[in-house]
Structure 1
Amino acid sequence: MPNAANNPVLIKHHRITLRDFTPADCDGFVAYQMDARYRALYNQPDSPETRTTSTALFERFLGWQDETPRQNFQIGIFDAKSGEILGCIGLRQQDMPAHVAVMGLELAPACWGRYRLALDAINLMLDYGFSRLGLGTVTGSTGNGNRRITHLATWFGATLTQSRPGPDWMTQKGWHEVDWSLTRDAWLAKKAAK
């Protein structure tokens, strides 16, 4: 199995490209995080502090690319034709047991509801994690009010493992956090059945 941990990530698909962020992507990333719909979801104000927090998060993603060994892969989702940033997706192994990573997906508000985009990004990232990084399990969490993500996780063969109180922004919406887990074997079985 090839070791992809310290190679740049570039995954091409006919609709989207998943790739490591570059400094030139910062403005697009911060712009979608400053969108009023995004800020409303997380109860964030339109303020210089919110912009600074988004910029710092982006810079953390860039910093992860230089770590040796690389354990965190937070990469951009881009339109294959226009190059427009559509969101980001990640697999984070730091502080996890061996061969386990946490997946996170975030679509820009203009892309909310684009299920095919989410399916493509998740499928490509799962394939990368299981085949290139040698992962055995991918986990994740979402708010129970985010039924779309919960549905996507189960569509890929994941099982819901736990429900617990979530962060303040979830609690304010009356949501709780739902954890899910997907093994390589379950993912391969689901893939073979399609």
Structure 2
Amino acid sequence: MRSVHVNGSRLGLRDVTEADVAALHAVYGNPAVTEHMPFAPRTVEEVDRIVRDAMEAARADPRRLYVLAVTDAGSDEVVGVARLHIEADHPHSAEIGLGLRPDQWGRGIGTDLIKLVLSFGFRQVGLHRIWGARSPANLPAQLAMLTAGMVEEGRIRHHVLTPAGWRDSMVHSAIADDWVAY
């Protein structure tokens, strides 16, 4: 297994560990963070399972799932989570998912995180296409994705079942050939 360690100017990415469960619960368990996600806030036990599954997925060959702790570059504190899931039928394409603690919102950290994940996916993993789906109501995510160089492709109607019912998704993508300018 090759472990992930990516450093940016304000953020870092690394594989999650069991020691991250409490910090990741501050993301996955927060109702404000999960408001636009297709699941209710997670319990500590559910986050522990996510971490254990991610650690197991990190040992797979080929590796198809990266669940990464997002760290503050200055303090190394875990401030969020990033997920990169490579499609089995299309191994040069992957879906991203991101979450940051609310105290990180409004400072451009989301844009920095997307750029860091795109860089990792294109340069280190060798992907050709990276895409993500967001809630149509999540305008900060839209701004972050567009600012990071992703293109809004369109709407998937009734894409995910959330605790509140069916929800559409807005899809954004970046292509390696186009992204190099960012």
Q: TM-score, normalised by structure 2?
A: 0.85
| TM superposition shift of 1:40 | 5.3
2:88 matched residue in structure 1: 95
Which protein is richer in helix relative to its size? Answer: 1
Q: Which residue of 2 aligns with 1:10?
A: 5
**Structure 1 residues 156-167: aligned runs within 5 Å:** 156-163=148-155, 164-167=157-160
- Name the stretch that deviates more: 92-101 or 138-147: 92-101
Q: 1:101-130 CA deviation, whole Å, 9 max, x = no partner?
A: 111111122223332x11222112211111
| Residues 1:135 and 2:127 aligned together | yes
Could you tell me the TM-score, scaled by structure 1's length?
A: 0.80
Please state whether the residue corresponding to 2:180 is helix, strand or coil.
helix
Secondary structure, in 3 states, of the residue corresponding to 1:176? Answer: strand
Q: Which aligned pairs between 1:39-58 and structure 2 lie closer than 5 A?
A: 44=40, 50-58=43-51
3-state SS of 2:162 partner: helix
Over aligned residues, Cα RMSD in angstroms?
Answer: 2.4
**Structure 2 CA distance, aligned partners of 1:188 and 1:101?**
17
CA distance in 1, matches of 2:100, 2:125: 23
**1:36 CA drift (Å):** 4.4
* Map of 1:81 onto structure 2: 74
Gaps of 5+ in 2: none
Cα offset, 1:177, TM superposition: 0.9
- Tell whether the 8 Å contact from 1:159 to 1:182 is kept in structure 2 after alignment: yes
Question: What secondary structure sits across from 2:43 in the alignment?
Answer: helix
Following TM superposition, the consecutive aligned residue runs of length 4 or more in structure 1 with deviations greater than 6 angstroms are none
Amino acid across the alignment from 1:63: E
Residue 15 of structure 1 deviates from its aligned partner by: 2.0
Alignment size in residue pairs: 180
Amino acid at match of 1:27: A
Counterpart residue type for residue 107 of structure 2: R
Residue identity opposite 1:112 in structure 2: W
Higher strand proportion, which one? 2
* Structure 1: segments with no counterpart, 5+ residues: 1-5
